[in-house]
Structure 1
Amino acid sequence: MTTRPGTDTGSSESSVALTAWLASLVHNHDYASLAELRRPRVQREPHFRALWYSPTEGQREVYSQVAFLFSVYHQGRSRPDYGNGCLGAAARRIGSGYGRGPDDPGAARLVDRIVSSRRIPWRHLQHAVARLRACDQQPPSWARLVDDLNRWHDRKARVPYEWGLAFHMPATRGAAARSTALAAASTEKGSIT
């Protein structure tokens, strides 16, 4: 399933632009550039091109690494996949006929390692993308992944927590639990004042 970029509401303009450029490499069968992006130690034109989309110098690593992850997922593919949802929701699709997401012990361990990391866990993210590719499942929204990783250290954004919640709770239960928790928190705050 191919979703168009920018369908995740709230994605930044620069992350959507990066995703569109990466998708154009797949669409135009520019496999040489995609292969270059899979070689992170050798910096060539495609690496620098990915950095062009970064609005700040501090975000360059995220843009470069997401371009790498995108190229890993799209190796040998002829159609771009823009992805859908956050990494936690995508990881729910990892698994086999015996179980997916939280029911797959390997997927559960992988997500637990990712969400418990203080620093961005690039190696584990690469493993998650490779598992999604191997299971022939849709990746996370690449634009959202860029934005989430840029907010990894923002305590208010709580990206690791949101990914863990999306992975461990079904979408309907997760939304209901979040609204219940928010209602309880606002009632609690109201009773304090």
Structure 2
Amino acid sequence: MNIKKIASENYKKFCFYEGSDYIASEFALETLLKLITVFNIKSVLEVGLGIGSVADTILHLEQKQSSGIDYYGTETNEFCLNALRKNVTHYEKIKLFPDIKEVPERKFELFIIDGSDDSLKVIKKYTNRSSIFFVEGDRKEQTQTILRLFPNHLYVNVITLRKNPPYAHEGRAVNSYIGGGQLIFVNPTLKMIFYWLKEKAGTFIKIKIRKWSK
């Protein structure tokens, strides 16, 4: 399964949709698909569905793999709610709620923070010991909230050396680096520790290369 191709094609498709200014980057989509594949994720809660680029990409992978992912999401914006119905191919698979507090209490393996939600502090009751968080982009407030909730976490800012494609939005200049995200393992297993170490080393090297290439 070529997750890089799925991420690239879906990102490009969503770049031409109305309201696509702040969609998750191509690299962020690829990172999420990699996490789902490596850790065999079966349950997802996305906070801030937006116009559906993340959900559509993950559900596209789910259909390819027949993996049976249970997908929950939150959204209140009327424009986004209408866009979701039009943009997400398997919209019917999303269990949609206005905010986290309205989500029936259960445990999720992967949390995707792709927007703001004042009730984020209650998210701990939805986690299990091996839950993973991915905060799309550079959302410092949301990231810090999660880090404070889980003192045993392992955290890494996941970045890439790839540059934005010409069709990218939100003023993302073609010569600037594609955005990444914040990866958090709340109670890391041995497998997660090795994954984190690899990402941590990769980020360290990429930061050095970025500085040298200026």
Instruction: Tell me if TM exceeds 0.5.
Output: no
| TM-score using structure 1 length | 0.27
| TM-score using structure 2 length | 0.25
> Which entry has the higher C-alpha Rg, 1 or 2?
1
The one of the two structures with greater contact order (alpha-carbon pairs below 8 A, sep at least 6) is: 1
Higher share in helix = 1
Higher share in strand = 2
